[in-house]
Amino acid sequence: MDHELETLFGASAAQLKTSVMGWPQPEYDLAFMSLEKKNLVREINRRNQQLTSEAQLGLVPFESEAAEAARMRELNQRKQAELARVLTPRELEALNLRQSPAAQYVLDNLPEAKSEEDFRAMVNAVETTGIEAPKTPDRSQRYGLSSGADTRDADQAEAKMQTQLEARLQEALGAQRVAELHQEEQARQAAAETQKQARDAEEKRAHGVPGGTLGN
């Protein structure tokens, strides 16, 4: 579908969806690539996503989280090797800035960057630290079972990496800038929560729910 859109209109699919349908433009928009390379990257991404989904489901019964994580790293390394064969070093760097695991970690778990320079520094700090996305419940917990696993060592290791990441961010951006980003993020989240509560209260009033005020 994206290929047909770009062939017909001569613009990136992300830009067309944004302007025509009001969809948000994704961070990994491939507008900086040729049409041929876009299609190659999309096919690599599609194939990697399928393999990743299979790995996350755990095709081997009761496979350990460590084994699953190792397989995920192997898949990402394989994907990077495939991308390096079809892209120039500069294109690969630009793509990774948009869709690498480190970039996704920044988007999902760190304060919003206010400039591309800040974003690059934050992605580099995550890559250097090697921190991974917060763990989801293990497979037994997903199915409502008690794993009985002792996660204290893993929790301590994650806390240690969080401390290292914070130190890397302060080293790259400066302690004052990091503090400002955290404060701005807290203010943004507080404003979003206030707006959500206001919408919830308005919905209650619209549906005639008694006591449609905040907190009720």
pLDDT digit string, tens, across residues 104-135: 888 888 888 888 888 889 989 998 888 877 65
pLDDT tens digits, 31-67: 778 889 999 999 998 998 888 887 767 555 556 667 7
High-pLDDT (> 90) share of the chain, %: 18
Residue spans of the domains in the chain: they are 108-133+162-216
Q: How many CA atoms lie within 13 A of 51 on its CB side?
A: 15
Contact 29, 98 (CB under 8 A): yes
Q: Give the C-alpha separation, 34 to 87, whole Å.
A: 10
Residue that has been written with the tokens 């041929």 in this structure: 36
pLDDT tens digits, 67-112: 777 788 888 889 999 999 999 998 888 888 877 888 888 888 888 8
Contact 103, 27 (CB under 8 A): yes
0.75 cut: is pTM over it?
no
Q: E strands within the chain?
A: none
Classify residue 80 by burial, with Cβ atoms within 10 Å: 0-12, 13-18, 19+.
Answer: middle
Dihedral-angle region of residue 20 (phi above 0 means left; psi in -120 to 50 means alpha; beta otherwise): alpha
* pLDDT tier at 148, thresholds 50, 70, 90: low
Classify residue 20 by burial, with Cβ atoms within 10 Å: 0-12, 13-18, 19+.
Answer: exposed
